Amino acid sequence: PIVIEIVDSEEKISGFLPALEEMMSGGMVTLERVQVIEYRHAERKE
């Protein structure tokens, strides 16, 4: 099995669903609300 997670706004994910349905021949899609406790990203090294 493969799990692909997408984290974005509800509007953007809803807009992407029709394209996703076209790509899938089988599988499962779930939508879940999350509570973000902490978010960090590393500085880009140049």
How confident is the model at residue 43, as a pLDDT?
A: 87
How confident is the model at residue 37, as a pLDDT?
A: 95
Specify the number of domains making up the chain. Answer: 1
| 46 residues of the chain, pLDDT tens digit each | 889 899 898 899 999 999 999 999 999 999 898 899 998 888 888 7
pTM of the model: 0.58
**CA–CA distance, 34 with 7 (Å, rounded to integer):** 9
How confident is the model at residue 41, as a pLDDT?
A: 87
The three-point CA angle 44-4-20 to 5° equals 110
Q: Which domain holds residue 33?
A: 1-46
